[in-house]
């Protein structure tokens, strides 16, 4: 059963497989919503491969010696990390950058519950939850712990990405989670010389495409090396083609949840 909500609107960002730019999109969507005047938090729910700390240029070099506070379930208060006007929480802020999280599966819910409900989020208009790829324990626990107002599914322009995303859509359907739509990331490559859009990966087979299920496409983001390296594109180049696409997607999400 879902617990109390730390924000007016909670949106999960999901994908069927890794490598589609889901975390990058989550961070940039948060910045785009913030630019619209909203107070936004980001929960990095990937316990085993947290990427958000690296993307905001923060890392913890000291390795945590023990995680007893989670194992014993002690009441704690976690201050979020505030960067670029966002409130962020990630297991990566509590562990060393190269430290693995070794937890039995029965402890996953306890850790997530404390990250969600014992972080001092303050008053948020939006909380974006960056889910790990797939449909494993973390995804299922988040659906139980948080009253999700919607979910967004991110795919790349490959058959396997769309095929794996269909499993995520099935999870959301089974749990009654509203899916706001999908986003195709790295859809085309923009030629740096002439600006022509090049379809690097080709077309996805219609029978494997998530669009064949009637899912709304909220936007298509072109492939740009500047998005993968350096500061978030919504800070560095909001007027670029990827920046404009992300801003438009953020607007559609806000409209859908208004």
pLDDT tens by residue, 165-199: 999 999 999 999 999 999 999 877 777 677 777 77
Say yes or no to pLDDT of 93 above 90: no
- 116-120, 128-132, 164-168, 169-173: the lowest-pLDDT one: 116-120
- Eight-class DSSP state of 63: P
Q: What is the mean pLDDT of residues 219-244?
A: 85
Contacts 24+ apart (CB under 8 A), 171-179: 171/135, 171/139, 171/140, 171/143, 172/14, 172/143, 175/140, 175/143, 177/12, 177/143, 177/148, 177/150, 177/151, 178/148, 178/149, 178/150, 178/151, 179/150, 179/151, 179/152, 179/153, 179/215
pLDDT of residue 72: 46
What is the chain's mean pLDDT, rounded?
86
- Domains recognised in the chain with CATH numbers: 7-257 (3.40.50.300)
Q: What is the mean pLDDT of residues 225-249?
A: 87
Say yes or no to pLDDT of 1 above 50: no
Prediction pTM value? 0.90
pLDDT of residue 54: 87
pLDDT of residue 212: 92
pLDDT tens by residue, 37-78: 999 999 999 888 888 988 998 765 555 455 544 444 555 678
pLDDT of residue 227: 67
Distances (CA, A) of 116 to 1, 79, 112, 150, 235: 14, 11, 6, 17, 27
């Amino acid at each position: 059963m879902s617990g109390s909500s730390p924000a007016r609107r909670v949106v999960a960002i999901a994908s069927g497989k890794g490598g589609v730019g889901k975390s990058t999109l989550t961070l940039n969507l948060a910045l785009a919503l913030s630019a619209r005047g909203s107070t936004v938090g980001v929960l990095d729910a990937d316990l085993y491969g947290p990427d958000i700390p690296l993307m905001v240029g923060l890392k913890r070099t000291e390795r945590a010696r023990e995680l007893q506070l989670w194992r014993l379930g002690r009441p704690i208060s976690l201050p979020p990390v505030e960067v670029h006007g966002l409130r962020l929480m990630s297991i990566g802020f509590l562990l060393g950058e190269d430290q693995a999280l070794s937890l039995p599966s029965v402890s996953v819910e306890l850790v997530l519950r404390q990250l969600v409900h014992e972080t001092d989020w303050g008053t948020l208009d939006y909380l974006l939850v960056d889910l790990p790829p797939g449909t494993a324990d973390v995804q299922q626990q988040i659906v139980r712990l948080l009253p999700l107002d919607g979910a967004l599914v991110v795919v790349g322009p490959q058959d396997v990405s769309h095929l794996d995303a269909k499993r995520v859509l099935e999870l959301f359907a089974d749990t009654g989670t509203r899916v706001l739509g999908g986003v195709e990331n790295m859809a085309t490559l923009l030629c740096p010389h002439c600006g022509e859009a090049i379809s690097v990966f080709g077309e996805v087979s219609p029978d494997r495409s998530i669009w064949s299920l009637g899912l709304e496409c909220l936007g298509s983001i072109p492939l740009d090396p500047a998005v993968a390296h350096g500061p978030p594109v919504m800070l560095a180049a909001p007027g670029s083609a990827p920046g404009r696409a992300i801003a438009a997607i953020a607007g559609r999400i806000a409209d859908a949840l208004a």
